[in-house]
């Protein structure tokens, strides 16, 4: 079954929380998008355009979402809003400190087949460390060794494995890199919210 995935070629931001000014704000980035429900009937067009208003908390969780225009199916609108509440962003920051924020985003909803791969990750807190680790991988150092030495993610306990994952959940630039991977290949360091990541397509 085809799933609906949200892409964001056009993004518009409202003012942040009512107690803050927009000057000095670092805006959040989408780092995980839970798949949306299947649409109840075939579309006469290739996509839907939906305006969203999303409240992102200080830790990047979505606490509230409003669809500013309906898809035409209220049950789908409700299910889509529930899926969006499972999305994850990097935190917005005001003068370097995490803050909650309201976002206004124009989303393009398109059909996309799910694509599942067995995936490993190494998550880094900064770009310099990611580049160092990538250079070691290029010299032949084992992926799991790099995980144990550098990863700041909880997946470190499983040698970086995050299981079989639908790559459509990732932001567009990461998804494109993952779709190009053959079994055993890994990506170059990729910006992942406030962090950096190297992903490896593990062998089944």
Instruction: For the chain, 204 residues long, give each residue's pLDDT as a single digit of tens.
Output: 344 444 443 344 444 443 344 557 888 888 888 888 877 766 666 667 888 999 999 999 999 999 999 888 888 899 989 999 999 999 988 888 999 988 888 887 776 778 899 999 999 999 999 999 999 999 999 999 999 999 999 999 999 999 999 888 888 889 999 999 999 999 999 999 889 999 999 987
How much is the pLDDT for 63? 93
Q: What is the pTM of this model?
A: 0.71
If phi > 0 it is left, if psi is from -120 to 50 it is alpha, else beta; for residue 123 that is beta
Q: Do 120 and 72 belong together in one domain?
A: no
How much is the pLDDT for 10? 38
Using an 8 Å Cβ cutoff, are 102 and 170 in contact? no
Q: Where are the alpha helices (DSSP H) in 23-162?
A: 74-84, 127-138, 143-150
Q: Distance (Å, rounded) from C-alpha 188 to C-alpha 29?
A: 20
Q: Where are the alpha helices (DSSP H) in 72-122?
A: 74-84
Q: Which residues contact 127 (CB under 8 A, 6 or more apart)?
A: 189, 191, 196
Q: Do 107 and 138 belong together in one domain?
A: no
Q: Do 185 and 170 belong together in one domain?
A: yes
- Of 184, 13, 177, the residue nearest 102 (C-alpha): 13
Length of the chain, in residues: 204
Q: Which domain holds residue 94?
A: 3-112
Q: Distance (Å, rounded) from C-alpha 107 to C-alpha 43?
A: 16
Domains: count for the chain = 2
Q: Do 124 and 106 belong together in one domain?
A: no
The SS3 assignment for 9 reads strand
Q: What letter would DSSP give residue 163?
A: E
Q: Distance (Å, rounded) from C-alpha 65 to C-alpha 72?
A: 17
Radius of gyration over every alpha carbon of the chain, rounded to an integer in angstroms: 18
Strands 161-166 and 97-99: unpaired
Q: Do 76 and 26 belong together in one domain?
A: yes
The SS3 assignment for 185 reads coil
Q: Do 134 and 190 belong together in one domain?
A: yes
Q: Do 98 and 124 belong together in one domain?
A: no
How much is the pLDDT for 116? 92
Q: Do 152 and 83 belong together in one domain?
A: no
Q: Do 135 and 104 belong together in one domain?
A: no
Domain boundary among 83, 112, 141: 112
Q: Do 103 and 159 belong together in one domain?
A: no
Which CATH number goes with the domain that contains 33? 3.30.2420
Q: Do 106 and 10 belong together in one domain?
A: yes
Which CATH number goes with the domain that contains 181? 3.10.50.40
Domain boundary among 112, 144, 175: 112
Q: Which residues pair with 107 in a beta bridge?
A: 50
Domain boundary among 81, 112, 143: 112
How much is the pLDDT for 46? 60
Q: Do 197 and 179 belong together in one domain?
A: yes
- Of 127, 121, 133, the residue nearest 196 (C-alpha): 127
CA–CA distance from 90 to each of 75, 76, 103, 189, 194 (Å)?
A: 29, 27, 13, 17, 6
């Amino acid at each position: 079954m085809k799933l609906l995935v949200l892409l964001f070629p056009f993004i518009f931001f409202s003012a942040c929380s009512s107690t803050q000014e927009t000057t000095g704000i670092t805006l959040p980035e989408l780092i995980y998008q839970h798949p949306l429900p299947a649409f109840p009937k075939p579309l006469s067009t290739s996509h839907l355009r939906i305006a969203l208003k999303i409240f992102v908390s200080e830790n990047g969780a979505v606490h509230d979402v409003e669809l500013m225009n309906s898809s035409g199916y209220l049950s789908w609108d409700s299910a889509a809003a529930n899926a969006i509440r499972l999305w994850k962003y990097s935190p917005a920051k005001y003068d370097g400190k995490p803050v909650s924020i309201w976002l206004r985003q124009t989303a393009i909803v398109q059909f996309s087949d799910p694509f599942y791969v067995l995936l490993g990750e190494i998550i880094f807190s900064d770009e310099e460390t990611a580049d160092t680790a990538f250079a070691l991988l290029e010299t032949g150092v084992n992926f799991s060794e790099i995980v144990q030495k550098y990863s700041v993610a909880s997946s470190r306990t499983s040698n970086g494995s995050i299981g079989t994952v639908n790559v459509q959940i990732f932001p567009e630039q990461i998804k494109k890199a993952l779709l190009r991977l053959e079994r055993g290949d890994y990506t170059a360091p990729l910006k992942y919210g406030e962090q950096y990541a190297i992903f490896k397509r593990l062998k089944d």
